Structure 1
C-alpha cells in the first residue's frame, strides 16, 4: 500500500442500532473496494468485522473493527462499531478518532433509541453525519414513513440524496437526486444499471433535487448567490456545498442501500470518496494543555493509542491514530503518560484480523502495531522535542454492576490480572476492589455486557467465575444530639492505661454555626471552643471535631489520638457496619492520669464514648440515590413508569425529545441492580437510560429495620 498524505485520508465511523446491518455493510464495502473477493455473512461467521470467538458465539458485534479501503486514490479508514448499547464504548472511541459518522437506520423500524443515542454522541462531539437507510428489501420497510420520522426528529437538515422506487422483497431500484439518475439491479444484486430517470418519477426527483441544491447552496455565500441567480448548481458545486455543510453539521444527507445484496453500496463509496471531508478539513484536536495540535505530516511526531485488542498467538494489538508528524517503523518514542521509552518495530494498516505492513503513516492516518512493552489504551507516544498528551475520550457512567469472584479462590490473583487486561480492550468495564464492601465489583453498561465478560473469562482465560449481587454502599448518620462519656482503665503491673473522654455528637450540616451550649436532662453544657478540625471523609460527607476542654482536663497532645479513635468508629457504623458521615463531635471534658495516660488509652476511650453517643443520637441509614434518565418510545411510557414506581423511584419530569419520551427520576441504587434487564424486557430492547450519582438520602424505616436485622444475622454467623 502506498503512503497517503493527510489531505488524502478520510476517517469514518459506522454506527447504528443492533441489527441495522453495519457488519454486513462493512463486508459489502470491502467487497466493492476489491479488498475481499467474496462477501462473508454474520450467519456463516466468516465476516471481516466479527472475527472474535465471542462475537461469533452471540452473533453480535462486541468490539469495534478497524479496516481501510483505497478508493480513487484516497484512503478511507473505517471503524465498524457495535450496535448494542451495552458496547457503547466502541462507538464513542471511534467517534473521537474519526471525522465522519455514517449512521445506519434499520428499514424495518426507522430511527430507534440506539439511533438517537448515536446521534446524541455525534452532536456532543460536533461530528458530521450521513444517514443510511438499510434493509430496504424488508417486508416491513416504509421509506416515506422513515423519512417523515427523521425530519420530525432531525429537522430540515435531513436532506434526501436518494429514494427507493419501491421497498420490500421487490426492491431493486432507487433514484439519485444528486446525479439525477436511476440505479437498478438484478434480483441477486451485482453491478448497477444506470439510466435516466423515468418520466413518472421526474416530478418527485426534481422536487427533491431542488431541495438538495438549496441545502447545498446555504453553506457557501458564492454558491448561494449563484443559486439565487440561476436556481441551480453544477454537480461539483453541489458536492462542495454538501462537504462544507457536513463539516458544520448544517446538512445530514440521506442515502439508501440494501447491504445484504450490495445494492447502492458502490454509489455510497463514491460519495464517501468524493464528498466526505478529509482529515485536513476538520477542526484541530487539543492536547491536555488546551493547545491546538494540527494534523500535519511536517509537525512533531505524536501518536495516540485509542484501542487495544488481544488476539490468540499474537497478544496485544495496539491501535493508534497519528495526531501529528509521520510515524515510521523503527522509531524510538517517549510515552508521555508512563515516562517510558518505546520502539515501534512494525506498523500495520488493518482490515479486521488481517494486517498489512507499511513503512510509515502520516498525520491523520490510523494503524496498529504489536508487541509494545509498556503502552496502554489512552497513552500518547511522542518524538523528540514534543510533549503532547491527549485525553479527549469520555465514556458514559456504568449502568449495571455485579460482584465477581473466582470459583476456585486460588485463581483470585489470576482473575484480577485477566480483568485488568480486558479493561484495556473495553474501558467501559470498570473494575473496583472495594475495601468498604469487601468485594471485587465489575461495573458495565448492561447485563449482556457483563455476560460477555464472563464468557470470555471462562472460554478464553479458562477461569471459572461467578457473579453475585454487589452490596450497596450504605452510609450511617445521626438525627439528634447525644452525650456520652467513657473511662478506659487497665492495670496489669507496671505502667497502666487510663483515659476518660466526655463528648457530644450531633448531625452536621454545611454552614451551621459553632456550638455555644447544649442541654441534656435539664443540665446545661457551655462550650468554650479551643480548636476545630473539619475532616473531608474519603467516602463522602464530613466529620467536624471540636476541642472544648477547659482547665487542662485533657492535655492537647492527646487530641489527635481521640480523633483517631473517633475515625475508627466512623469507618464502622453501629447499625450495619457502613461508613458514618456528617457528624459533629465536641469533646468537652475528661480526665487523665499523670503516669498511666497515653495515646492508646485516649484512643480507646474516644472510640467507646463515640459509639455509645452515636447509638443514642437517632442513628439512621442513608442510601445512595441516582439521577435516572430513560429514553423510551411513547408506546411503552405507561409500563416503564409503573415499573419505576415499583422501584421506589420519584418521577421528576417528562419531556419529548427527538421523537422519544425522556423520563427523569430519582431512584435508589439498590433498585437499579437489575434495571437494565427489566427495561429491555418491557420495551423489547428499544429503550435506553443513563444514571448519575445524586445524593445520599434516609432509607424508609421498614427497610432500615430489615438492613439492621440482616447485619445482625451476618455478625451472628461470623461468631459461630
Structure 2
C-alpha cells in the first residue's frame, strides 16, 4: 500500500443528524475512488462502514467507523459517525482527531436537532468545517431553506461553493469556485463539465464574487491583492478559503446526491486541494502546556482515540500519529502507567477489513491489535520523550439503570463484560451503589442503554434485567433527645453488662459547644458518606471506664450505617455520653458496643428524625419557544428554578431538582421538545424531603 506524507493525508469526519446520508456518502466516495467495485446500501446491510451486526439489525450507525480512500495522490481518512446523540461519545472522539469536519445535512430538512447538538462540539474544538447539503435530487429537497438553516447555525460566514440546478430534466450542480456546471446522468457517476448557462450567469457571478470577498478577508496579502486586482484567481481563492476554515470563520457549502453518486468526486477534490491537513492545524498540546509539533523527524507520539473489542480479534486500538513515524515492532511508552507496548502489527482499517502496513507517518490514522496496557485517551511516546496529550472530555451520563444478571452465576461475567463496554465507549459508566446494593449502568439515553443490553445478550451471552436505581437518601435529626439503655445478659460463666446514658443533637458547621456538660474529650468523624458524627466524652466520676468509650462509638457508627427510617446512612449528629454503669466482671467491649447502639437508636427515633434526599444542579438548554412546557414539567418534579440565561435562540434554565424526580428525565425531555433540548446535571446537596414524601417512603 502506498505511503503518503503528512501534506497528502487528510483526516475528515462525517457528522450529521440521523438519516442525513453520511454512511451512503462514505460508501460512494470509496466506490468513486475505485477502492470497492460496487456500492453497498443501508437497506441491503452491506456497506463498508455499518458492518457491525447491531448496526445492520437496527438500520443505523452505532459506532464511529474509520475508513480511507485515495483520490488524485491524496489519502483521505474518513470516520463515519452515528447521527443520534445517544452515541455522542463516538462523535466527540472522532471530531477530536479530525483535521476537517464534513457536516452532512438532509436536503429535505436542513439543520436538524442532531446537527445543532454536534455543532456545539465542533464549535468548542474550533475545527475547520464544511457543509454538504445531501439528497438534492429528492422531490422534497429544499436547498435554499437548508442553506438558510446553516446561516442560522453558524452565521453569515457560511458561503456557497455550489448550488443545484435542473437543466433539461437533468440534475446539475453549479460550482462557483471553478465557475463550471456539472451535468449528471440519472445514474450519477462522472459528470459532463459544461459552461454555466446564460440565465444563471448573474447568480453564479454574484456568488463567485461573494466567495472571493470571503476568501480575501482571511489573509492580509490576499486582501491587498483583491483591492489591487478586484478579484482573485482560483488558487488564491483556495488559499483564502483554507485560511478561513482554519480560523473557524468560513464554512463552505456543497450540494450532492450521495445515493445517486452526484458530486462526490468534486467534494473529494476540495478535500484534497483546500481542506486543512494535520500539519496546518494548531499543534496539539500536552497536559503541561507543551506543543506537540506534527513533523515526521520529531519523536513519535500517538493519541489513542478509540478502542474496539471484537470477539474474533480481541482488542483493536485506533490511534492518530501526532508526531514522528510509527513502524512495525516499534516500542512506545504509555504515559498513564509507564508500561511499554510493542506494535507487532499496523493496519489501515476500512470497516472490518484490515490492510497491513509497515509504517504510518505523522498525521495518519491507523490501528493495531492486542495492546496489553492501553485504553482510549492514552498517549504513547518514544522512551525518553513521554508526554500526555490532553484527554477527550466526554459528557456526563443522562440516563441510568440498575442492572443484574438473570442467572446469578453470570454476575462475575457481567462485571467483566461491562468493563469491556466501558473501555469501548467511555460514555457508558459503571458503578456500584453500596447503599442500594445495585450495579448501576449510566449512559446517554434509552437507545444507548438498548445497545448495551444487545451487546451483553448477543456478544457476551449474558441475559440481564434492569431496575430503577435506588435513591441514596440520608437520615438526620431535627431536635435533641436523651436515651439510656442497659444491656444485661447472663449465661453460664461470665455475663455481659453495660449501661449507657447519652444525649444527641443535630450538628451543623459552626455550632457552639454543648452546654451543661463536663466535656473531657471530643472526637470528630468525617463520615465516608458525607456529613459528620461528633462524639463527646462527658463521663464524670468514672461511671464508665475510659477504655469502653471507643466501643460505644463503634456501636453508634454501626447504627449510622443503616438508619432506622429507611436503612439509609445517618449524618450530621453529635452525641454526648454523660453517664452509665459498668460491672467489674461482666462489662466488656461488646457489651458497651451493644448498649451504645441501642441507646443511640432510641434517642434518634425520639429526635424528630428527618429524611434527606440528594438534589442535583440541573442545567437545561431549550429553544425559546419551548421554555414554558419545560418549566411546567420541571416544577412538577419539585424543582426550584434559580435563574434563566439567554444564548442565541436558546434559554438556559438553571434549577435544583431532587434526584428521585429525574429518573427518565432524558426520555421525557426529548419527547417534550422533539429532541431539541439538552441538559446536564451534577450533585448539589442533601435537602429535607417533604413530609408527605417522607411518610410514603418510610411506610413503603
Q: Cα–Cα, structure 1 residues 387 and 594, in superposed 2: closer, same or farther, change >3 Å?
A: farther
The equivalent residue for 1:154 is: 154
Q: Is the 8 A contact 2:487 2:591 kept in 1?
A: yes
Give 1:103 shift: 1.6
Give 1:532 shift: 4.3
TM-score by length of structure 1 reads 0.90
Q: Is the 8 A contact 1:6 1:365 kept in 2?
A: yes
The equivalent residue for 2:385 is: 386
SS of 2:411 mapped into structure 1:
helix
RMSD across aligned positions (CA): 2.7
Alignment partners' CA distance in 2, 1:709 and 1:589: 35
The equivalent residue for 1:626 is: 616
2:491 is aligned with 1:533? no
Q: Is the 8 A contact 1:164 1:171 kept in 2?
A: no
Of the structure 1 ranges 10-19 and 374-383, higher mean CA displacement relative to structure 2 is found in 374-383
Give 1:634 shift: 5.3
Alignment partners' CA distance in 2, 1:171 and 1:492: 103
2:324 is aligned with 1:320? no
Q: Cα–Cα, structure 1 residues 6 and 473, in superposed 2: closer, same or farther, change >3 Å?
A: same
Q: Cα–Cα, structure 1 residues 583 and 13, in superposed 2: closer, same or farther, change >3 Å?
A: farther
Alignment partners' CA distance in 2, 1:318 and 1:87: 19
Alignment partners' CA distance in 2, 1:642 and 1:616: 39
SS of 1:403 mapped into structure 2:
strand
Q: Cα–Cα, structure 1 residues 448 and 618, in superposed 2: closer, same or farther, change >3 Å?
A: same
The equivalent residue for 1:143 is: 143
Give 1:377 shift: 2.7
Q: Cα deviations across residues 582-622 of structure 1 (Å, max 9, x unaligned)?
A: 33344445555566554434433332233222222222222
Alignment partners' CA distance in 2, 1:106 and 1:662: 28
2:593 is aligned with 1:603? yes
The equivalent residue for 1:543 is: 533
Alignment partners' CA distance in 2, 1:27 and 1:467: 37
Q: Cα–Cα, structure 1 residues 8 and 51, in superposed 2: closer, same or farther, change >3 Å?
A: same
Alignment partners' CA distance in 2, 1:564 and 1:379: 44
Alignment partners' CA distance in 2, 1:551 and 1:157: 84
Q: Cα–Cα, structure 1 residues 153 and 320, in superposed 2: closer, same or farther, change >3 Å?
A: closer
Alignment partners' CA distance in 2, 1:639 and 1:575: 36
TM-score by length of structure 2 reads 0.93
Alignment partners' CA distance in 1, 2:144 and 2:308: 41
Q: Cα–Cα, structure 1 residues 366 and 353, in superposed 2: closer, same or farther, change >3 Å?
A: same
Alignment partners' CA distance in 1, 2:634 and 2:512: 42
Q: Is the 8 A contact 1:515 1:527 kept in 2?
A: no
Q: Cα deviations across residues 168-217 of structure 1 (Å, max 9, x unaligned)?
A: x9782222222222223122211122222223222322332232222222
Q: Is the 8 A contact 1:528 1:550 kept in 2?
A: no
Q: Which 5+ residue runs of structure 2 have no aligned equivalent?
A: none
Q: Is the 8 A contact 2:116 2:153 kept in 1?
A: no
The equivalent residue for 2:73 is: 73
The equivalent residue for 1:44 is: 44
Give 1:438 shift: 0.9
Q: Is the 8 A contact 1:149 1:659 kept in 2?
A: no
SS of 1:259 mapped into structure 2:
coil
> Which of 502, 511, 521 is the equivalent residue of 1:513?
511
Give 1:367 shift: 0.6
Map 1:480-519 to 2 at 5 A. 480-492=479-491, 496-510=495-509, 512-517=510-515
Of the structure 1 ranges 273-282 and 369-378, higher mean CA displacement relative to structure 2 is found in 369-378
Give 1:271 shift: 1.2
> Which of 556, 560, 564 is the equivalent residue of 2:554?
564
Q: Which 5+ residue runs of structure 1 have no aligned equivalent?
A: 518-524, 711-720
Give 1:417 shift: 1.5
SS of 2:3 mapped into structure 1:
coil
Q: Is the 8 A contact 2:517 2:538 kept in 1?
A: no
Give 1:118 shift: 0.8
Q: Cα deviations across residues 697-719 of structure 1 (Å, max 9, x unaligned)?
A: 22222221111111xxxxxxxxx
Of the structure 1 ranges 583-592 and 441-450, higher mean CA displacement relative to structure 2 is found in 583-592
The equivalent residue for 1:423 is: 422
Q: Is the 8 A contact 1:652 1:666 kept in 2?
A: yes
> Which of 619, 631, 639 is the equivalent residue of 1:649?
639
Q: Cα–Cα, structure 1 residues 214 and 545, in superposed 2: closer, same or farther, change >3 Å?
A: farther
Give 1:351 shift: 0.9
2:97 is aligned with 1:97? yes
Q: Cα–Cα, structure 1 residues 347 and 618, in superposed 2: closer, same or farther, change >3 Å?
A: same
SS of 2:184 mapped into structure 1:
strand
Q: Cα–Cα, structure 1 residues 271 and 182, in superposed 2: closer, same or farther, change >3 Å?
A: same
> Which of 563, 573, 582 is the equivalent residue of 2:572?
582
Q: Cα–Cα, structure 1 residues 56 and 608, in superposed 2: closer, same or farther, change >3 Å?
A: same
2:429 is aligned with 1:438? no
Map 1:242-253 to 2 at 5 A. 242-253=241-252
Alignment partners' CA distance in 1, 2:678 and 2:18: 13
The equivalent residue for 1:34 is: 34
Q: Is the 8 A contact 2:613 2:658 kept in 1?
A: yes
Q: Cα–Cα, structure 1 residues 626 and 495, in superposed 2: closer, same or farther, change >3 Å?
A: same
The equivalent residue for 1:520 is: none
Map 1:51-62 to 2 at 5 A. 51-62=51-62
Q: Cα–Cα, structure 1 residues 170 and 509, in superposed 2: closer, same or farther, change >3 Å?
A: farther
The equivalent residue for 1:176 is: 175
The equivalent residue for 2:471 is: 472
Alignment partners' CA distance in 2, 1:215 and 1:548: 81
Give 1:516 shift: 4.2
Of the structure 1 ranges 451-460 and 156-165, higher mean CA displacement relative to structure 2 is found in 156-165
